[in-house]
Amino acid sequence: MSKVRFAPSPTGYLHIGGARTCLFAWLYARHTAKGFVLRIEDTDMVRSKKEYLQEILESLQWLGLDWDDIEYQSERFDIYRDYANKLIEQGKAYKKDGAVFIKYDVQEVRINDLIRGEIVFQELPKQEDVIIKSDGSPTYNFCCVIDDSLMDIDPVVRGEDHISNTPKQILMYRAMDFKVPSFAHLPLIMAEGGGRMSKRFGATAISEYRKLGYLPEAIVNYLLLLGWSPGDDREIFSLKEASELFDIKRINKTSAAFSFDKLNWINGEYIRKMSLDELCERLLSFYAADNPEFHDCPMDYFKRVVELFHVRLVTLSEFMDKSRFCFCDDFVYNNNAAEVLDNKLSKEITLLIARLKDLTVFDKALVETVFRQVVDEAGIKTKFLVHPVRVALTGDKIGPGLFEMMEVLGKEKVLDRLTRLLKYWEVKNV
C-alpha cells in the first residue's frame, strides 16, 4: 500500500506553512488508511541542527500529528550513491571534478495534480545536473525522488513552491525507471493584505505560537480553514472530524491569507468551550515554570479566579496579565485609570467600607445590595462609584463583573484595597 509523507528539513524551525503541509498530508493518510512517513531531510550536514529537529518533532506531537515511521536521509547516503553509480554504469550520468552529473532525456512533462488538475511544463530543465556533490552528499531533487519511490509515496503532498522542481524530478523518475507518483501542490499561505508571510505577519515557529498561549487544537482548526472546509459552513471542528471528512480535491487552488483576528477568534472559542477543570489544567501547565504566586494558592481559589476570566480569554498567555490583581497586592493604578480617580469619593468609599464590614456572608448578591444602597444614599449614579471601586480592587478600569470579582477576592482583600484608595487620596491632598 502506498504512503504519504511530510519531509521537513532541520535547518530551521517548523513554521505555519510547513505545519499546514504536514496537516493536509496527515489527513490524507488517515482518511485513506495509508501509512504516514515523517522523513527528515537532513542531507545538509552544516545547516542541519539537533535543536531544529527537536523543535519540529515536539511541535508536530503538540499539534496531535503522529507518524507511522520516521526516516533520516543522512542515514541513507549509501543508497543515493548506489543509484548514482547505476546511472553512471547505464551511461545516464558521469563524474566530473568529484561530482556526479545526470544526463536528462528531456521530454515533455505533464502531471495531473490532485488539486490543480493538469499542469504542462513549458520550461524543461537543462540537459544535465549535479546529483552527488563533490563532498559526497546528494542533491535535494535526487534523494527526494529515490526516497519517494522506495518508500512508495503516492501522492506527493507539498507546497506549490515545489512545482518548479517537478519537471526535473519526473525526468529523474524516468531515468531510474521509477513509477511517477501523483502530486498535490498546496497553495501558499500569504500575509494579510497580500505578499509573502514574514515573522511580522504570521511566519512564526509553531513553538512560538505555543509560547504565546495558543491551543494546539485551535492552531490545527485554523490551518484547516486556510484552504479547506468540510463544506457545511462549519468553522469549528476537531482533527478527528476533519480526518473523517477530508477530501484533498476540496482544497482551494488559490492562496489563503493568514489572519491573526481569525486565529484569535478560533482560539477564544476553544477556550470558552472548555470545562473549568480543563482550562485550569491547561493554565497550570502553561505557567508551569513561572508565576509561583498562583501555583501556591489554594486550588479552590484558583478555580474561582479562572472562572472569572473564562469567557474573556483569547489566549492562555493573557491570563496572568488580566488576573494578577487576584494573586498579588502590589499592583499600581494604571495610567488609563487616573481620570477615574480624579473625582475623590472619599465619603462614599468610607460608607461602603463600613457597610461591607457588617456583612457576615460576603457573596455577590449581598455585596451588590449593599453597594446599591450606598449609591442611593449618596444620591449618585451607580457608574460613579463602580469605576473607582474597580480601580481600587484591580488597578484598572476594565475587568470582570464587579460583584462577582468582589466575592472571589473576599471580604478582607476588598476592605484592604478600598482603604488603600482612601490613603491614596489623602496623600494626593497633601
Question: Within 10 Å of residue 293's Cβ, how many Cβ atoms?
Answer: 13
Is 238 among the domain residues? yes
Q: Identify whether 268 is part of a domain.
A: no
Three-state SS for the chain is: CCEEEECCCCCCCCEHHHHHHHHHHHHHHHHHCCEEEEEECCCCCCCCCHHHHHHHHHHHHHHCCCCCEEEEHHHCHHHHHHHHHHHHHCCCEEEECCEEEEECCCCCEEEEECCCEEEEECCCCCCEEEEECCCCCECHHHHHHHHHHHCCECCEEEEHHHHHHHHHHHHHHHHCCCCCCCEEEECCEECCCCCECCHHHCCCEHHHHHHCCCCHHHHHHHHHHCCCCCCCCCCCCCHHHHHHHCCHHHCCCCCEECCHHHHHHHHHHHHHHCCHHHHHHHHHHHCCCCCHHHHCCCHHHHHHHHHHHHHHCCCCCHHHHHHHHHHCCCCCCCHHHHHHHCCCCHHHHHHHHHHHHCCCCCCHHHHHHHHHHHHHHHCCCHHHHHHHHHHHHHCCCCCCCHHHHHHHHCHHHHHHHHHHHHHHHHHHHC
Which pLDDT score, from 0 to 100, does residue 292 have?
65
Domain termination residue (choose one: 133, 151, 186) = 186
The answer, as to whether pTM is greater than 0.85, is yes
Verify that 65 and 116 share a domain, yes or no.
Answer: no
Overall size of the chain counted in residues: 430
Does 68 lie in the same domain as 155?
Answer: no
Is residue 194 assigned to a domain?
yes
CATH for 411: 1.10.10.350
* Ranges in the chain, pLDDT < 50: 430
Is 152 in the same domain as 81? yes
Residue 201 pLDDT: 56
Q: What is the pLDDT of residues 200-226, one digit of tens each?
A: 555 689 999 999 999 999 999 999 999
In the set 199, 240, 273, 428, the catalytic residue is 199
Residues 288 and 369 in one domain: no
Whether 54 and 97 share a structural domain: no
> Residue 429: what pLDDT?
66
| 86 and 177 part of one domain | yes
| Cβ atoms of residues 80 and 132 within 8 Å | yes
Is 271 a domain residue?
no
Render pLDDT for 119-167 as a digit per residue (tens, 0 to 9): 999 888 888 999 999 999 999 999 999 999 999 999 999 999 999 999 9
CATH number, domain containing residue 249: 3.40.50.620
Do 282 and 141 lie in a common domain? no
Number of domains in the chain: 4
Q: Is residue 49 located within the same domain as residue 97?
A: no
Shared domain for 365 and 378, answered yes or no, is yes
- 423 in active site: no
245 is a domain residue: yes
Tell whether 159 is covered by a domain.
Answer: yes
Beta-bridge mates of residue 157: 184
- pLDDT reported for residue 362: 97
Q: Tell me: do 155 and 207 sit in the same domain.
A: no
- Examine residue 267 and state whether it is found in any structural domain, yes or no: no
User: What residue numbers bound the domain in which 142 lies?
Assistant: 76-186
Q: Are residues 369 and 390 in the same domain?
A: yes
Identify whether residues 380 and 410 lie together within a single domain. yes
